[in-house]
Amino acid sequence: MTTRPIAVVGASAAGLAAAEALRRGGWRGPLTLIGAEPHLPYDRPPLSKQLLHGSWEPDRLRLRTEDQLAPLDLDLRLGTRATGLDVATRTLTLDGGVGVPPLEQGREWGRLACAGVIIATGVAARTLPGADRIAGVHTLRTLDEALALRARLANGGAPASEGVASGGAPGSAGAAAGGGGGGRRLVIVGNGVLGCEAAAVARELGHEVTLVGIEETPMAAAVGTEVGALLAAEHRARGVRLCTGAVDGFETAPADPAGTGAPRVTAVRLANGGTPAGEGVTARGGEGGAGRLPADLVLLAIGSRPAVEWLADPALDTTDGLRCDAYCAAAPGIYAAGDVARWDHPVHGRPLRFEHRMNATEQGMAAARNLLAELAATGPAAPGAGDGAPTQERRPFAPVPYFWSDQYDLKLQAYGLTAGADRVEATVLDRAERRLLALYGRDGRAVGVLAAGLPPRQLRALRAVIATPLPWEEARERIGAATAAG
């Protein structure tokens, strides 16, 4: 009997972790890893930091080389999209004519019947209507998108093709270090984590940066207004202009005198004129009014959407991600991991979805382990299971969430839940050293903590305090003791 494969859809951090965990867990049958991008699995957090800055090259982001992937014996399908999933039969529909026999001839799709499926398709960048038809308007989610923006920032804002002629390939070290043309006017739409990180990089590269957000305080949704206000002060001190408002559209000019090619962006328009976000900041009046922000480049950092549009089977709930139980199962034999998964967190008692790097790896491993346990428990020994593979039981996935953000020389690190808190207590421990601590609460219990400038030993102590939500006052006392210990 031919063994059906386990398919992992999504070839980034969560998908790679799942594939490796399946092999470690004893799966010896066919293993298919499907990635929509043509690149080998790579790390995404450096896209908006080291790669955009030019201090890292793309090869440094690679999570595994071809030689390191070889022992996994993968059926690796890069540049391939999953376009459908039949839950009852665990059958994937793939684009690009990729599939396994029988493959219907003359059609640009294939079908892959699976023993199990792990969905790790992540998220896609949100954009604005018509933005994809305007030169100079960028999003930043994939390696190719990051390299395109990096080339524009590196060569003074000229299109990437011009940058190749004068400074090497768009991703080359020469293009990154070169400059040419001086600083450009970059408008970043969205003042969340991605927007703030990109603003810091662009300022370090010498560009003129305006950061626009619907909320007045940067990163308020992620870390609260108290910590966000401290970040706002840091950005202002570095020369970033902060502005509050919703984007109403773009102004453009012809790409060249002949009017051929896509029009290029010249300004961002704000609805109702926009307002300055904080003391001493203007919204670029004098060049068309306070609601017009002149721009050579625009980065749209307005959030993301879970990549679930291809999952149309009514057996699946795709509201704000793929809904899963505490074991990361969306349906029998169907699991999810990473940014796309919204699962029942057994400690916090509600569905959560995290777009954080550490969660992607941890959840990929958990989904793989639980899928193998289900396959072992629901039928005769799986044909692909290795001889002597240990008996497993499914275990709830209950991580302590962790994320970090690098902006200038400031590193924020957080454990637990910082978004959606109904109580935040932020303390500046040392303003000169930019050491700060914030505690986040919900329904009378401490559920998250954030710190900057603290040594690793204290960070580990903070994680231990927040691993299980404690009553607010008890958590405050333990946090105080942990930081006082030096």
Per-residue pLDDT of the chain in tens (486 residues, 90 and over written 9): 568 999 999 999 999 999 999 999 999 999 999 999 999 999 999 999 999 999 999 999 999 999 999 999 999 999 999 999 999 999 999 985 444 343 443 334 589 999 999 999 999 999 999 999 999 999 999 999 999 999 999 865 444 333 322 233 333 333 333 333 458 999 999 999 999 999 999 999 999 999 999 999 999 999 999 999 999 999 999 999 999 999 999 999 997 776 668 899 999 999 976 665 554 333 333 344 558 999 999 999 999 999 999 999 999 999 999 999 999 999 999 999 999 999 999 999 999 999 999 999 999 999 999 999 999 998 665 556 655 455 679 999 999 999 999 999 999 999 999 999 999 999 988 888 889 999 999 999 999 999 999 998 999 999 999 999 999 999 999 998 888 765
DSSP 47-70: GGTHHHHTSS-GGGGBSS-HHHHG
Residue 106's Cβ-side half-sphere holds a number of Cα atoms within 13 Å equal to 0
Residue type, 212: V
Residue indicated by tokens 């809904």: 323
Asked if 117 contacts 92 with a C-beta cutoff of 8 angstroms, the reply is yes
Asked if 171 contacts 147 with a C-beta cutoff of 8 angstroms, the reply is yes
Q: Which residues have C-beta within 8 Å of that of residue 285, sequence separation ≥ 6?
A: none
What the block records as the tokens of 287 is 């060049």
Give the residue among 4, 10, 19 at the shortest CA–CA distance from 73.
19
Query: Rounded CA gap, 157 and 172, in Å?
Result: 16
345 φ/ψ angles, rounded to the nearest 5 degrees: -80, 120
HEC letters along 382-424: CCCECCCCCCCCCCCCCCCCEEEEEECCEEEEEEECCCCCCEE
216 φ/ψ angles, rounded to the nearest 5 degrees: -65, -35
Query: Rounded CA gap, 412 and 453, in Å?
Result: 8
Using alpha carbons only, what angle is made at residue 13 by residues 227 and 11, rounded to the nearest 5 degrees?
135
Using alpha carbons only, what angle is made at residue 140 by residues 229 and 275, rounded to the nearest 5 degrees?
40
Alpha helices (runs of H) in 2-118, residue ranges in sequence order: 13-24, 50-53, 66-69
Q: Sheet holding 264-270: strands in order across? A: 247-253, 264-270, 292-294
Taking the C-alpha atoms of 140, 173, 11 and 141 in order, what is their torsion angle to the nearest 10 degrees?
Answer: 0
Q: 102: cis peptide before it, omega within 30°?
A: yes
What the block records as the tokens of 122 is 């992540």
pTM attached to this predicted model: 0.88
Tens-place pLDDT, residues 336-389: 999 999 999 999 999 999 999 999 999 999 999 999 999 999 866 555 665 545
Query: Rounded CA gap, 22 and 340, in Å?
Result: 19
**Is residue 440 classed as helix, strand or coil in its secondary structure?**
strand
Give the residue among 55, 216, 42, 74 at the shortest CA–CA distance from 144.
42
Asked if 175 contacts 55 with a C-beta cutoff of 8 angstroms, the reply is no
